Structure 1
Amino acid sequence: MSDDTTWTGQRLPRGELFTLFGALMLTVFLAALDQTIVGTALPTIVGDLNGMDEYTWVVTAYLIATAASTPLYGKLSDLYGRRPIILLAIAIFLVASALAGLSQTMLQLILFRGLQGLGAGGLMTLAFTIVSDVLPPRERGKYQGLFGAVFAISSVAGPVLGGWLAEVDWRWIFYINLPTGLVALVAVNTVLRRHPIPTRRHKIDYLGAGLLVPAVVCLLLAITWGGQDYAWSSPVIIALLAAAAVLTVLFVWAETRAEEPILPLRMFKQGTFSLATVIALVFGIAMFAGIVYIPLFFQMVRGYSPTESGLLMLPMMGGIVLTSILSGFAISKAGRYKWFLVGGSIVTTVGLALFTQLHLDTPLWLSALYMLVLGLGLGMFMQPLVLAMQNIVTMDDLGVATSTNTFARTLGGAIGTSVLGAVMNATLDSELDANLPAALSQLSPAEAAGFDTGDLSAITESPTAIAALPDPIKSVVQMAFTDGLDQVFLVAACITATTIVLTLVLPDLVLRGGTEQRRDDPDTAAHEIRADTLP
C-alpha cells in the first residue's frame, strides 16, 4: 500500500474533465447497450441465418468473452497505462461490431460476438478506472452516479431499439455502434494524450492469465449449460466444474508467486474489499432478475411486443437514474457510502418481493410502481459498491480493483441465468403438466386432434405462439408463466436479502478526498492502519 491513503492522481481542467467524462459515458453506453439490444432481435437474426440450433451461443459467446477478459484489462491498464488499453478495447469492439453486422452464417456471428465480448470486457471497467485516476474518491460519487443513469437508459433502450431495428434491418444493431464508438475513441485519445496517466515498470503474469481465462470459461460454460443443455449430473458438466476448480487452485498458487500478478491476492486480505466482491456477485443476480424477467412477464403473460415491453420498463429506468444521480451527489457531500448500500439493498429486496404479486390482471400502474421501487434500489446500490472497492486500494491497483467488481457482477449475472432459469423452467413444466390435460378436455375434437401437448417448447417459445393458442390452453400457459415468474422473483428476493446483512457488516469508512488526510477521523485512521499492514 502507499505511504498514506491520500489520493495521488491528477486533476484535469474542468473542460478536459467534461470532455473525457462524456467520452467515457459513451463507452459505458456501448458496453451496456450491447448486453440487451441483441436479445429482442435474435428470433429475426436466427431466422435469417438459419441457425436455431445455435441460438443461445450468440448470447453465451459474448458473456463468456466479456467475463473472461474483464480482469485482464484492469491489470494491463495498471501496467501499460489507461490510454492504449482503452483504445485497444474500443477498437476491438468496433471492428467486431462491423464484422458481426456483415455475418453471413451463424458461426461467423457467434465468433464475432465473442470478439465483441473481448472488447466489451474493457469498456466499462476502464471507464470507471479512468474516473478514479482523475477524481479523488470523495468527488467520484456524483460523477459515477451518472454512469448508473447511462446503464439504466441502455437497459431499457436496448430491447426497444433492438426490436425496432429487427423490423428494419437487424444488421444495424451492430452497425449503430460504429459512429458512437468512433466519437468516444477520438475524445478519449485526445484528452489522455494531453494528460497521460503515469505507468510503472512491469512484468506480465502470463501464467496467471493462461490459468484465469480457461477457469472462467469452464465455469461459465458449466453454469450456462447445466440444467438446460445438459443435466447437472452429466459427465460434461462435472468435467467442466472439475476443470474450473483445478484451474482456479492453480491460478491462486501462481498468483502467490508472480512478481506482477493479474489479480493481487493482497487486496483480499482487506476485509472491505473481499466483502464488497461478494456483494457485487450477489447483486449481479438481482440485476439479472430485473432486466430479464420483467420483460418476460410483459411479453409472455401480457402479450406485449418487445418494443412495448421496453417502453413499459421506463419506471424502473427512471428510478435507477434518479437515485444514481442523487445518491452520487449525496455521497460526495457526506464522504461516506455504507448506508446508501444498506438502503439500496433493502429497497432492491422489497422491489423484487413486490414482483411476486404480479398476475395476469395486475393493473399497469401497479406494475409500474413495483418497477419504480426496484429501480430506486438498484440505482442507490450500483455506484457506491464500486467506490467501496476503489477506496480501499492503492492507485497502482485501481484498475484491477474496478475490474474485479465488474467481473464479480458479470459472474453473478451468469449464475443468475442458471439458477433463476432452472427455477422458471421447473415451475413452468410442473404447472403445464398438471393443468394442460384439463384444458385440453375443453377443446373440440378437431382442436384437440391438432394440438400436441407433448411439445411444450413449441407452445411457450414466443408471445406470438402463445397468442395463437386456443383460449383454454392460452390461459393455462399464461398462469404457468405467472407462477414461474413469482417463484423466480421470490428466489431472487431471498438471495438479494443476504446483501442487507453483508452491507451492514461493511465498515463505515470515509472516502479519501483530494489532499485532505483527515487524520482526526477515527474511521479514516483505522482504514489507514489496516491498509498499511498489507504486503
Structure 2
Amino acid sequence: MAPSHAADERSPLLQTSPAQSDKHDLEDPTKLPKRKRNAILVAVWLGVFLGALDGTIVATLISDVSSSFEKSNQAGLLGTSYLLSTATFTPLYGRLADIIGRRNALLIALALFTGGTTLCGLAPSMVSLLVGRLVAGMGGGGLMAVSSIVASDLVPLKQRALFQGLANLFFGAGSGLGGPLGGFVSDRFGWRTAFLCQIPVLLLAAILVFRNLRYRIDGQGKSKREMLRRIDYLGSLTLVISLGSLIFSLSYKNDRNLPWSSPLVWAPLISFVISGIAFGLVEAFYSAEPVMPLRLLKTRNGLFVAFANLTLSWVSFSILYFYPLFFEIVKQNSASRAGAHLLPNSIALSVGSLFAGYIIRKTGRYYWLIVITSAFPVISLTSFLFLNESSGWFHSWVAVLPSGFGFASVVTATLIALISSVDRADMATATGLTYLYRYVGQVVGVASSASVLQAILTAQLKERITGPGAAKTIERIRHVATSIKEMPPAVQVAARTSYRNALHGVFGLNLGVAVLCLLFTLPLREYALPASFAEEEEHRRQRNGEETPPGVAEST
C-alpha cells in the first residue's frame, strides 16, 4: 500500500530523526508482540487502579477528614476540588500525549497525582488539603485518559471494548480496595496514613511506565512550538472559571447558610453563566484545537454519548461520596465498615465492564446493551430511598450492585459507540470528550448533591432541635459529623433522622438524573465495529468516499 502522508491519531507531532528512533528501537504499536503489548497495558492500568483506589479512599474518609478540621459542612469540597481540576485538565492530555508522547504525558500525570497526594497526607489545614486535592486532580484525570488513548493505539476497535473492560477491572479493583483499606488504615493509623501509603505504589507505577511504554507513532506532524500554541488554554481557563464559580456559589450558600440574595451566592452564579457562554464561544469560534470539539457534538452519537456520560457520572460519583455517609452517620458504623459498603459496587464495576466488553466483542453490537444497563442505576437509587436505621443486608449490601454494573457497562459501551462513529484521526479527541463530560458530571453532581444535603439537613435540624443552645448544637452537627455520638441520646436521634432525610433528598435528586441518562441513550446509532486495523482503515475510506489503493483487499 502506498504510504499515506495524512496525519492521523498516530501521527507524531514532533519530527524524530532516524538516530533517535534507532536509539530506542521503537516499534509500530499495531505490530507489537502480545507480550510487550500486555506489559504496556498493565503498566498504564496500574495508574488507573491507583486513581480509583484514591477516589474511594477519599469517599470513605470524607467524614473523618472534614471533622478533624471541624469542617464537616465543607466535606463535599474534598470531592469537588479534585473533580474540578480533573474536568479542566483531562482534555489537555489528549493533545499533550500527541506533543510529548504517551509515556511523558503519563509520567507528568503520575508526578502531579503523587505530589497532590503527598500534600494531602501532610496538610496542616483544610485549605491546604483542598489544594492537594486540586493538584492530585490535575494528574488523576490523565491517568485515566492516557491509558484509554494507549489502548486505542494498540487494539483494533472490535477488541477495544474487551480491553476497556479489562481496564475497568483494574478500576473496579482499586475502587473495591479503596473503601475498606482507607477505613482500616484511618481507624488504626489516622487518615493521613491513608494518603501517604499510596506514595510507594505510585513510584512503582512511574518506574513501570518509564520502562515499558515505548513505541513509535508513524507519520508526519507539526513542530512542538506550533502544537503548544494550539493547546486550548483559553477554553480550559473559561471552563475552570465556570465550574469553579458554580461550586463557589453552592458552597457559600450551604456552608454559611446564606440566602440566595447574598452577593456571595448570586455573583458567582452570574460568573458561572457568563464564563459558560464564553467557553462555548471560544470553543465554537476561536480555538484551533478545542477542549470540547463542537463538530463532534453535532453528530448524534457525539451529542448523546456526551450527555449520557455526564448524567451517569453525576449519579455514580454522588453514590460514591454519599452512600457511605449513610452508614457512618445514620447507622454510626466505623469508617472501615462504612467503606466496606462500597465493595459490592466495585465488584459490580469489574463484572459490568468485562460483561460489556465480552458482549461487544462477541456480537459486534452495543445499542441494546447500553439502553438496558443504563436502567440499572435507576433500580439502585429507587431502593436507596427506603434506607433507614433498621435496613437489613439487602439494602446495605445488594442494592448498590445494579448501579456499579450499569455504570461500568454503559461507560465501556458508549466509548465504543462514539469512537466507532469517527475517523481514527479523531479517536484521541473523542476519547477526551467522553472523559471531559464524565468529569463535568462528577463535579457538578457532587457539588449539587452536597448542596441538597446541607439545605435539607439544616432545615431538618432546626425543626427537631430547639431550645437554649440549639443553634450552637446544630452548627456543631453540621461542622463535625463525628461529634453526634458524643451528644445526648435525644439529640443523637434527631441528628441521625435529619441526616437520613437529607440523604434521601440526595438520592431522590440522583434518581431523576439517572432517568435522564436512560433517556439520553435511546437516540444512539449503532455502527459496524472493525475486527482488525486493516478493516478499520477500509471502513474509514468507505465513510469518507475514498478508493481502496491497489493491492489492498477490501474487507467483507
> Which TM-score band applies after superposition, normalised by the shorter structure?
0.7 to 0.9
Corresponding position: 1:347 with 2:376: yes
| 1:173 matched to 2:194 | yes
Q: Which amino acid aligns with 1:223?
A: L
Range with greater deviation from structure 2 (343-352 or 183-192): 183-192
Tell me the residue number matched to 1:509: 527
Q: Structure 1: give runs of 5+ residues left out of the alignment.
A: 438-447
Identity of aligned residues (%): 26
Alpha-carbon distance, 1:412 to partner: 0.9
**Contact 1:161–1:307 (CA under 8 A) maintained in structure 2:** yes
> Is the contact between residue 72 and residue 479 of structure 2 (CA under 8 Å) also seen in structure 1?
no
- Pick from 508, 520, 528: which aligns with 2:543? 528
Which amino acid in 2 is paired with 1:419? S
Compared CA separation, residues 465 and 527, structure 1 to 2 (3 A): farther
RMSD of the TM alignment (CA)? 3.5
Give, as a single letter, the amino acid of the residue that structure 1 aligns with 2:335.
P
1:410-443, Cα deviation, whole Å (9 max, x unpaired): 1112211232223323333333333445xxxxxx
Q: CA deviation at 1:258?
A: 4.3
Aligned to 2:452: 423
Shift of the alpha carbon at 1:269?
A: 2.5
Aligned counterpart, 1:444? none
| Distance in 2 of aligned mates of 1:484 and 1:47 | 18
1:329 equivalent in alignment to 2:381: no
Name 1:240's counterpart in structure 2.
268
- 1:309 correspondence with 2:338: yes
Count of matched residue positions in the alignment of Structure 1 and Structure 2: 517
Distance 1:54 1:359 in 2: 24
* Structure 1 pair 185–11 and aligned structure 2 pair: CA distance change class (3 A): farther
Change (3 A) 1:197 1:169: farther
Aligned mates of 1:271, 1:527 — CA distance in 2: 19
Deviation at 1:292, TM superposition (A): 1.6
Q: Which amino acid aligns with 1:371?
A: V
- One-letter amino acid matched to 1:125: A
Q: Secondary structure at the match of 1:200?
A: coil
Change in CA separation of 1:335 and 1:79 when aligned onto 2, cut-off 3 Å:
farther
Deviates more, 1:74-83 or 1:45-54: 45-54
1:393 counterpart (415, 422, 425): 422
Q: 1:14 to 1:425 in 2, by over 3 A?
A: same
Call closer, same or farther: CA 1:304–1:53 in 2, change over 3 Å.
closer
Residues 266 and 105 (structure 1 numbering): CA distance in 2 closer, same or farther, change over 3 Å? Answer: same
Q: Structure 1 261/305 Cα, relative in aligned 2: closer, same or farther at 3 Å?
A: same
Q: C-alpha distance in 2, partners of 1:531/1:246?
A: 43
Matched, 1:410 2:439: yes
Match of 2:43 among 9, 23, 27: 23
SS for the counterpart of 1:505 is: coil
Higher deviation after alignment, 139-148 or 87-96: 87-96
Q: Tell me how far apart the structure 2 counterparts of residues 251 and 478 of structure 1 sit (CA, whole Å).
A: 42
Q: Which has the higher mean CA deviation after the structures are superposed, 372-381 or 510-519?
A: 510-519
- Separation of aligned partners in 2, 1:215 and 1:7: 29
The amino acid that maps onto 1:73 is Y
Distance 1:464 1:242, change over 3 A: closer
Deviation at 1:35, TM superposition (A): 2.5
TM-score (norm 1): 0.85
Q: Distance in 2 between matches of 1:454 and 1:282?
A: 37
Residue 12 of structure 1 is matched in structure 2 by 32
State the secondary structure of the residue aligned to 1:292: helix
Q: Structure 1 residue aligned with 2:496, among 478, 486, 491? A: 478
Q: Cα–Cα, structure 1 residues 193 and 117, in superposed 2: closer, same or farther, change >3 Å? A: same
One-letter code aligned to 2:152:
S
- d(CA) in 2 for partners of 1:142 and 1:194? 22
Q: Partners in 1 of 2:478 and 2:155 — Cα distance?
A: 50
C-alpha deviation, 1:189, in angstroms: 2.9
Q: Which amino acid aligns with 2:161?
A: G
Deviation at 1:370?
Answer: 0.9
User: Residue 441 of structure 1 aligns with which residue?
Assistant: none
Distance 2:115 2:261 in 1: 40
Between the aligned partners of 1:111 and 1:6, the Cα distance in structure 2 is 34
- 3-state SS of the aligned residue for 1:362? coil
Deviations 1:312-343 (A, max 9, x none): 33222222222221221111111122222111
Whether contact under 8 Å (1:316, 1:372) holds in the other structure is yes
Q: 1:52 to 1:345 in 2, by over 3 A?
A: closer
Aligned partner letter, 2:102: R
1:204 aligned counterpart, secondary structure: helix
The letter of the residue matching 1:214 is: L
The amino acid of 2:252's aligned partner reads: D
Which AA in structure 1 matches 2:97? Answer: S
**Which 5+ residue runs of structure 2 have no aligned equivalent?**
12-28, 254-258, 548-556
Q: TM-score, normalised by structure 2?
A: 0.82
**Structure 2 residue aligned with 1:157:** 177
233, 237, 241: which one aligns with 1:218: 241
Spell out the pairing of 1:70-81 with structure 2 (5 A cutoff).
70-81=90-101
Secondary structure in 2 aligned to 1:357? coil
Structure 1 position 201 matched with structure 2 position 222: yes
Residues 1:529 and 1:349: Cα distance change in structure 2 (over 3 Å): farther
Amino acid at match of 2:295: R
- Aligned counterpart, 2:19: none
**Distance in 2 (alpha carbons) for counterparts of 1:262 and 1:320:** 28
| Partner SS for 1:182 | helix
